[in-house]
C-alpha cells in the first residue's frame, strides 16, 4: 500500500498555469476513418504496447491524487476498447469520494446507444459527440466507414440517460460550409450545445490537402452572424472553447480556434496516451514516459514524482499555423487519434 500523500501542492507548470484537467486516450483504435484524423488504411499500435485498464486506473488515480479535477476519456474511439465500462466504473469512485469534479467522454457516437446508461451510472454527466454533417451520404464520406443513423440513436440514448450533450463539428472547407446554419437550427431543436473546431495539422497528410480543408472560424462566425443573433457567453468548461449564446435557439455555440486564436495562455490540461506517454501540449512533441515508473514499483510514489517532473517541461504553447504557402507547426509523427484531440 502507498504511504499517505504528504505533498498536496497543485500541479503548476513553468508559466504558472495550474494543471487540473487530464485527457486520457484509452485506445488509438477507431471504427471510423475520418479524413482529417487518420488515413483509411491505418496501422494501429500492437495490443501488447497498450497499458492495461488496471494500469490506466493507477495512472489516472495518481493524477487525481495530485489535484486533477476533470478527467476526459478519449481515443481513437474509447467505447471500442474491450471492458472499457469497468474503467469508467473505477473512475467513478473518485467522483463518489469528491476528489474528482467531473468525468466526461468524447466519442464518435457509434457505440453510444448500448453504453449510454452504463456511462450515466458510472457518473458521466456530460458527453461530447463528434459530428461534422447531418447529411448521411456526406457523413459516410467524411468518416469513410460511419453510419449517421447509429450516431443519432446514440445521441438520443445519451439524452434519455440524463447526460448533457455537446456536438463537436470540425469546420471543413468545401465540405460542411453550407451546413452551418442547419446544424445550429438542429442543435437548438434537439436541445444540444454545438462547438465548431478548426482543422489541426496533425498526422501524415499532404500540405495542399490540409490547406484545402482549412476553413478559419473567423469566416464561420461571419457566416453565422448573417442569420443568428450571438452574444459572448460567460460560460466556461475548463476547455479551450470560447462560447456564445444564440438568442433564437437559447443554446450555446462554441468555437475552438487553435489557428486563428491561440488559446494557450489559459491551458490547464495535459494528455495521456494508451501507452503511458504524457504529452504536455497537443501541438508540440514535449512528452514524458510514465509507463516505466508505473511498472518499476507497485507503489504510486515514483509515478507521482514522474508526473510532477513532466509538468515542469510543459511548453508555453503550440505553433500551429496555416499560410498560403504551407502548413507550419505540423505534428506529422502523431495522428490525432493517438492523443485524443
Q: d(Cα 275, Cα 167) in Å, to the nearest integer?
A: 28
pLDDT tens readout for residues 136-172: 999 999 999 899 999 999 999 999 999 999 999 999 8
Q: What number is the average pLDDT over the span 205-219?
A: 64
Buried b or exposed e, range 189-209, using 16+ CB within 10 angstroms: eeebbbbbbbbbbbbebeeee
pLDDT tens readout for residues 234-269: 887 766 788 999 999 999 999 988 654 455 677 899
Q: Is the Cα dihedral 222, 127, 109, 106 positive or negative?
A: positive
Q: State the pLDDT at residue 37.
A: 79
Indicate the pTM of the whole model.
0.86
Kindly list the distances between the CA atom of residue 209 and the CA atoms of 64, 96, 199, 326, 333, in Å, as whole numbers in the listed order.
40, 46, 11, 10, 17
C-alpha 297: how far from its chain's center?
30
Please state the domain extents for the chain: 21-339
Q: State the pLDDT at residue 330.
A: 47
Average pLDDT of the chain, as a whole number: 87
pLDDT tens readout for residues 63-76: 999 999 999 999 99
Q: State the pLDDT at residue 210.
A: 46
> Residue 323 above 50 pLDDT?
no
Q: What number is the average pLDDT over the span 178-196?
A: 96
Q: What number is the average pLDDT over the span 84-98?
A: 98
**Residue keyed to cell 484545402:** 212
Band of residue 273 on the pLDDT scale cut at 50, 70, 90 = very high
Q: State the pLDDT at residue 183.
A: 97
Q: State the pLDDT at residue 207.
A: 45
Give the residue among 87, 94, 119 at the shortest CA–CA distance from 104.
119
Domain at 21-339: CATH code: 3.20.20.70
Q: State the pLDDT at residue 316.
A: 80
Mention every residue, 6+ apart, whose C-beta is less than 8 A from residue 257: 198, 216, 217, 218, 242, 263
Mention every residue, 6+ apart, whose C-beta is less than 8 A from residue 44: 28, 29
Mean pLDDT is lowest, of 83-92, 178-187, 195-204, for 195-204
Band of residue 89 on the pLDDT scale cut at 50, 70, 90 = very high
> Residue 276 above 60 pLDDT?
yes
Tell me how long the chain is: 341
Amino acid at each position: 500500500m502507498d504511504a499517505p500523500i504528504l505533498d498536496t501542492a497543485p500541479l503548476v507548470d513553468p508559466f504558472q498555469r495550474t494543471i487540473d484537467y487530464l485527457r486520457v486516450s484509452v485506445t488509438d483504435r477507431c471504427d471510423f476513418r475520418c479524413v482529417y484524423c487518420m488515413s483509411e488504411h491505418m496501422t494501429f499500435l500492437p495490443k501488447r504496447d497498450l497499458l492495461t485498464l488496471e494500469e490506466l486506473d493507477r495512472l489516472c488515480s495518481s493524477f487525481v491524487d495530485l489535484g486533477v479535477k476533470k478527467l476526459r476519456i478519449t481515443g481513437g474511439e474509447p467505447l471500442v476498447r474491450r471492458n472499457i465500462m469497468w474503467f469508467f466504473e473505477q473512475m467513478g469512485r473518485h467522483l463518489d469520494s469528491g476528489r474528482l469534479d467531473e468525468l466526461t467522454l468524447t466519442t464518435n457516437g457509434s457505440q453510444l446507444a448500448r453504453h449510454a446508461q452504463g456511462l450515466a451510472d458510472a457518473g458521466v454527466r456530460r458527453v461530447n459527440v463528434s459530428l461534422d454533417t447531418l447529411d448521411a451520404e456526406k457523413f459516410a464520406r467524411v468518416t469513410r466507414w460511419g453510419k449517421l443513423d447509429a450516431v443519432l440513436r446514440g445521441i438520443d440514448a445519451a439524452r434519455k440517460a440524463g447526460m448533457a450533450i455537446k456536438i463537436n463539428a470540425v469546420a471543413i472547407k468545401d465540405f460542411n460550409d453550407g451546413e452551418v446554419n442547419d446544424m445550429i437550427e438542429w442543435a437548438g431543436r434537439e436541445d444540444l450545445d454545438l462547438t465548431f473546431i478548426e482543422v489541426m495539422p496533425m498526422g501524415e497528410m499532404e500540405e495542399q490537402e490540409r490547406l484545402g480543408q482549412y476553413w478559419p472560424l473567423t469566416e464561420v462566425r461571419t457566416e453565422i452572424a448573417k442569420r443568428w443573433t450571438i452574444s459572448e457567453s460567460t460560460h466556461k468548461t475548463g476547455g479551450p472553447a470560447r462560447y456564445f449564446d444564440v438568442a433564437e435557439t437559447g443554446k450555446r455555440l462554441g468555437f475552438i480556434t487553435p489557428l486563428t486564436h491561440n488559446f494557450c495562455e489559459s491551458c490547464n490540461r495535459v494528455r495521456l496516451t494508451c501507452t503511458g506517454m504524457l504529452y504536455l501540449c497537443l501541438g508540440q512533441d514535449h512528452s514524458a514516459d510514465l509507463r516505466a515508473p508505473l511498472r518499476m514499483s507497485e507503489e504510486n510514489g515514483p509515478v507521482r514524482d514522474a508526473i510532477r517532473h513532466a509538468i515542469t517541461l510543459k511548453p508555453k504553447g503550440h505553433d500551429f499555423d496555416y499560410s498560403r504557402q504551407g502548413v507550419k507547426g505540423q505534428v506529422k509523427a502523431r495522428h490525432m487519434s493517438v492523443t485524443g484531440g
